[in-house]
Amino acid sequence: MLAELINPYHLQVASFILINIILGVSIYITLSTGQLSLANAGFMGIGAYTSALLTLNFDLPIIVGILAGTLMAGLFGIIIGIPTLRLQGVYLAIVTLGFGEVIRVIFVNWESLTKGAVGLSGIPHMGREILKTLKGFGFDPKVFGLQNNQFVFLTIFLLLLVITISIIMFFRRQNRSRVGRAFAAIKLDEKAAESMGINITYYKVLAFAQGALVAGFAGTLFAHVLAYISPADFAYHRAVEILIFAVFGGSEVIWGPVFGALFLTVMPEVLRFISEYRYMIYGLIIIIMMAVRPQGLIDVNILNWIKLKTSKRRQKHGTSSQKSM
């Protein structure tokens, strides 16, 4: 019964949705201080390659690779974040986009390490490694009536789901903290924020590094879910894709890019016949959104409206249940 419902293909798509949501969150973090960074595809690549190379060449456990890859991306975030502090708006976007390209070119040309454009294959697969470990303890997925394959993809999906929810919860919490208030003040008016005693250098670099960490983390997950990476995965197209999550979904609230990533990953899968025209549609989306809804689909007003609707429904529910009593 359960076994028939679990389709590895659907689970794989769902896993990529989750990774894209994490990427959407990564661009949201830097945007919440008003910095538009297009380097997140590059940071994702740094995370993916670091983790893949460590696990491939040194037989390190995946978890070590993921940690190292994430930290490496964060370190690059600080290195890039400090000199670009004085850049704003489109200039920052250009520099960070350039950085992403530099990273990609390094992956392509450092053939002795990265195998160049061919990419790295045979990267340890997260789900299979977990299954192997569990089998070592005498576990068999057949207990749940699942085939190995189904179990592998289900584990990955559930693991990513927990990770994604934790990340969203963390940044929602951070938004309501001192750090979040500082980010919001800097986004609204840097000079005013500075005169209120907010150390804008610190918070801007912090946001940049956090964005890089999260993007790098998504990269490591990507490497160990797909088991194959190549420089093309982290090219200009990826940077634009991440940007579109925020442009389409909105960047005022964290649910904006989350929704953007969800919708724009599902859409090409559901409408197979248009997936070839994906980048044309992305271009159209940017133009239409700029003209009609520059803040993106999901903004504070929409959220309040949804809250109002659900609370009304709850109230109605409450009164009807009272009546029945």
Partner 1 sequence: MLKVSGISAFYGRIQVLKNIGLEVAEGSIVTILGANGAGKTTTMKTISGLLKPQQGSIEFQGEEVKGLRPDQLLRKGIALVPEGRQILSGMTVLENLEMGAYHRKDNEIDRDIKAIMGRFPILEERQKQLGGTLSGGQQQMLAIARAILSKPKLLLLDEPSMGLAPLVVADIFKIIKEINEAGTTVLLVEQNARQALRISDYGYVLETGKIVAEGSAHELLNDPRIMEAYLGRKSS
Handedness of CA 297, 300, 302, 307 (dihedral sign): positive
Residue 302 C-beta: closest distance to partner 1, Å: 16
Residue 304 C-beta: closest distance to partner 1, Å: 13
Residue 198 C-beta: closest distance to partner 1, Å: 6
59: left (phi over 0), alpha (psi -120 to 50) or beta: left
Strands annotated E in the chain: 120-121, 228-229
Residue 210 C-beta: closest distance to partner 1, Å: 20
Residues that bind partner 1 (CB under 8 A): 178, 181-182, 184-185, 188-189, 191-199
Residue 303 C-beta: closest distance to partner 1, Å: 15
Judge residue 184's burial from the number of C-beta atoms within 10 Å of its C-beta, 0-12 exposed, 13-18 middle, 19 or more buried: middle
Rank residues 138 and 197 by Cβ distance to partner 1 and give the closer one. 197
SS3 labels along 109-133: HCHHHHCHHHCEECCCCHHHHHHHH
Rank residues 182 and 242 by Cβ distance to partner 1 and give the closer one. 182
Asked if 255 and 298 touch (Cβ cutoff 8 Å), the reply is yes
Task: Say how far apart CA 60 and CA 121 lie, in whole Å.
Answer: 16
Task: Say how far apart CA 303 and CA 322 lie, in whole Å.
Answer: 28
Task: Say how far apart CA 130 and CA 148 lie, in whole Å.
Answer: 11
Rank residues 68 and 185 by Cβ distance to partner 1 and give the closer one. 185
Residue 32 C-beta: closest distance to partner 1, Å: 12
Rank residues 171 and 203 by Cβ distance to partner 1 and give the closer one. 203
Rank residues 191 and 314 by Cβ distance to partner 1 and give the closer one. 191
Rounded to a whole number of angstroms, the distance between the first and last alpha carbons of the chain is 38
Rank residues 157 and 183 by Cβ distance to partner 1 and give the closer one. 183
Rank residues 188 and 288 by Cβ distance to partner 1 and give the closer one. 188
Residue 195 C-beta: closest distance to partner 1, Å: 5
Locus of tokens 């634009």: 240
Asked if 194 and 200 touch (Cβ cutoff 8 Å), the reply is yes
**Residue 275 DSSP symbol:** G
Judge residue 128's burial from the number of C-beta atoms within 10 Å of its C-beta, 0-12 exposed, 13-18 middle, 19 or more buried: middle
